Amino acid sequence: MTLDQKKTKSIQKEMITACIQLADLGFLAGIGGNLAVRVDETYMVVTPSASDYYTMKPEDLCVLRIDTLQMVEGTKQPTTESGIHASFFKKRPDINVSLHTHQPLASAITLLGKDLILSEKETKERLGDRLVMVSYAPSGTSFLVRAFQSKITDKTNGYLLKNHGIVCGAKDLKSAIRSVSLIEKEASEFLRKSIQNHPNPNRLSARVIKQINTIFLSARHT
């Protein structure tokens, strides 16, 4: 299939706007986190690796084949998490956007190693009943791609990468940004209740703050 250049250029411009919005929200920490948007059943556009979202230009974004990850356009290295995004698109043809964030509170939840049950109506409508935990594997590796692939289901659009961050799928960029914002609210409420119900809430609160700071400092440049 021939790449639709007009559609691709439009997607690239929209992705730059979305990346800046996500960076302003604190969900794309530093140069960590990444974004992919499906062009069609053959191609996707992904953010480049280790690039500042505030200086990124549309032409910096990379066009890859979904099946092989071969880069057909772009001058920079594509995100090392391209395999995760491609896996999402291959197994979920209804998903057009795959967003990986290092948002602070939800990333702290990934340290717990278990699914996060969702409670708000809108969140459940967009994402499903829970965020599914994906077992730990080093960032940017085939091990992480396989771990993610094994968890993909049509019952959820949100996944927790253990000790790492979030992967969220959506039909469009606006919906993806809304979904990760709702995930952060759910994580905030979960942590608040956990602290309130803990026998030593002050000690737990300090530990949670330390974990969140650790996530910020160790955010991977993907």
What is the band of 215 on the pLDDT scale with cuts at 50, 70, 90? very low
- Could you tell me which residue, 99 or 202, shows the higher pLDDT? 99
Q: Which CATH number goes with the domain that contains 160?
A: 3.40.225.10
Tell me: the pLDDT tens digits for 167-214? 999 999 999 999 999 999 999 888 888 776 666 656 655 655 565 555
Element (H, E) at 170: strand 165-170
Question: Quick check: 222 pLDDT over 50?
Answer: no
Please indicate, yes or no, if residue 163 is contained in any of the structural domains: yes
- Is residue 222, in this structure, part of any structural domain at all? no
Residue 44 lies in a domain: yes
Q: How many domains does the chain have?
A: 1
* 83 three-state secondary structure: helix
Q: What is the dihedral of CA 117, 123, 127, 131, to 10 degrees?
A: -20
User: What confidence score (pLDDT) does residue 143 get?
Assistant: 97
The residues pairing with 99 across neighbouring beta strands, listed in sequence order, are 35, 168
Predicted confidence at residue 219, as pLDDT, reads 40
- pLDDT, tens digit, 9 for 90 and up, residues 40-90: 999 999 999 988 999 999 999 999 999 999 999 998 999 999 999 999 999
Q: Is the pLDDT of residue 141 over 90?
A: yes
Domain that holds residue 97: 5-217
How far apart (Å, rounded) are the C-alpha atoms in residues 40 and 204? 47
Cα(18)–Cα(47) distance, rounded to whole angstroms? Answer: 11
Residue 72 domain-assigned?
yes
**Residues 221, 173, 141, 50: what is their CA dihedral angle, to the nearest 10 degrees?**
-20
| pLDDT given for residue 192 in this prediction | 80
Per this entry, what is the length of the chain? 222
pLDDT tens digits for range 162-174: 999 999 999 999 9
